[in-house]
A = this chain, B = another copy of it.
Amino acid sequence: MSSEIGHRLKLSVFGQSHGRAVGVVIDGLPAGEPVDEEALYRFMSRRAPGGALATKRKEADRPVILSGVADGHTAGSPLCAVIENTDTRSGDYANLADVPRPSHADYTARARYGDAVDMRGSGHFSGRLTAPLCIAGGIAKQLLARRDIYVGAHLLRVGGACDEPFPLRPTRELFDAVAQKELPVLSDEAGARMRAQIEAAQADADSVGGVIECAAVGLPAGLGSPMFDGIENRLAAALFGIPAVKGVEFGAGFAAAAMRGSRHNDPYIVENGRVMTSKNDAGGIVGGITTGMPVVVKCAMKPTPSIGKTQQSVRLSTMEPEELTVKGRHDPCVALRAVPVVEAVAAFTLLDILLEEFDHGAF
């Protein structure tokens, strides 16, 4: 296993940044599910480059579905979709094989695969590979939505600027409203401060990290398992597949470490005849199993490692120190474009779990 994940619903991602195409195979989708390609394209455009705050690389990112869909519905066979790579300038990356970028996979990819690894444009490690993740997740979101399960995300933090967290029960409308913004945030004032942080980093030929908060509403209680097959295990295993994610926490997460139990525990209440909790520090998961409250997960994204500032590296062929100044087009803040990617990966994983638990997609 490497670029492949899932139990009942399997995802296999392929492609290098400067190869012929990137794409994905999704195996295990129920048959007869409508696939709205326009809606998928709109979802994918949320991660597409092009804004003032993003890389200058232009790519249409329009997926072509090669199999698995017939007459607008899933066909019961594996779905393959590809996106051709058109705007690649490999020359920018020539030197990096011998003088690796700090905190970038240049060095570790070679340590792992040897010199034959194709790292032009960061190869298979490129953020471009999040486009196929969005294909898979975008389709998963369509299946979930038809079952009244919605997944949304927002930028919770960029550098020192913080958005407010999702409310206790985020709605589909809130998710939609956030998704339409250039900066996907709840508080536009916070968004303005984030924008300032990104622009300042960009102006300094630097980058900045961030945190993405993602929520899923509409999941039933009783989904998941204790120990190694819980919701947290599954989501974390998938979310760490997004390049630059360095931390994953659920509910209060690391803040729980500073709490007492009497404060952290979520009191049970009855609302509309259903068991709920009056707050959600558990992030909707206890013992690996959903409580019926929204599942809430946060991902820490490191700052883009490719920065214009001069950095200390080593020339591998001589083992001599060498200063490195990276050229090329890079996002000053990967967290910004990763918001729909986190949604996509969470949606895909939750759909996989639901398909495992329920009969032939009949949930």
CB neighbours (8 Å) of A335 from chain B are: 257
Interface residues of A in 43-93 (CB under 8 A from B): 64-68, 70, 73-80, 82
Interface presence of A160 (CB below 8 A): yes
Q: Would you give the shortest CB distance from A79 to chain B, in whole angstroms?
A: 7
A107–B20 contact, CB under 8 A?
no
Q: How far is the CA of A239 from the CA of B320 in the complex (A)?
A: 38
Q: Please count how many residues in chain A sit with their CB below 8 Å of the partner chain's CB atoms.
A: 161
CB neighbours (8 Å) of A123 from chain B are: 75-77
CB neighbours (8 Å) of A316 from chain B are: 275
CB neighbours (8 Å) of A238 from chain B are: 228, 233
Q: How far is the CA of A57 from the CA of B237 in the complex (A)?
A: 34
Interface presence of A211 (CB below 8 A): yes
Q: How far is the CA of A273 from the CA of B114 in the complex (A)?
A: 19
Of A207, A224, A233, chain B has the most CB atoms within 10 Å of the CB of A233
Q: Would you give the shortest CB distance from A159 to chain B, in whole angstroms?
A: 6
Would you give 25 A-B contacts (Cβ < 8 Å), ordered by A?
Answer: A2-B78, A16-B75, A23-B80, A32-B113, A75-B117, A77-B117, A103-B265, A103-B266, A105-B226, A105-B289, A107-B275, A108-B221, A108-B222, A108-B291, A112-B289, A208-B261, A228-B238, A233-B236, A233-B237, A247-B249, A248-B249, A254-B300, A265-B311, A357-B359, A357-B360
B27–A2 contact, CB under 8 A?
yes
B319–A273 contact, CB under 8 A?
yes
Contact mask A24-54 → B, CB, 8 Å, 1/0? 0101101111000000000000000000000
CB neighbours (8 Å) of A218 from chain B are: none
Q: Choose the segment among A3-11, A143-151, A177-185 that binds chain B (4+ C-beta atoms closer than 8 Å).
A: A3-11
Q: How far is the CA of A322 from the CA of B123 in the complex (A)?
A: 57
A270–B321 contact, CB under 8 A?
yes
Interface residues of A in 220-257 (CB under 8 A from B): 220-230, 232-234, 236-238, 240-241, 243, 245-257
CB neighbours (8 Å) of A223 from chain B are: 112
B240–A246 contact, CB under 8 A?
no
Q: How far is the CA of A3 from the CA of B26 in the complex (A)?
A: 10
A113–B31 contact, CB under 8 A?
yes
CB neighbours (8 Å) of A157 from chain B are: 257-258
The listed residue (B100, B267, B313) touching A313 by CB distance below 8 A is B267
A103 and chain B: residue at smallest CB distance: B265
Interface presence of A340 (CB below 8 A): no
CB neighbours (8 Å) of A76 from chain B are: 109, 112-114, 116-118, 123-124
A256–B246 contact, CB under 8 A?
yes
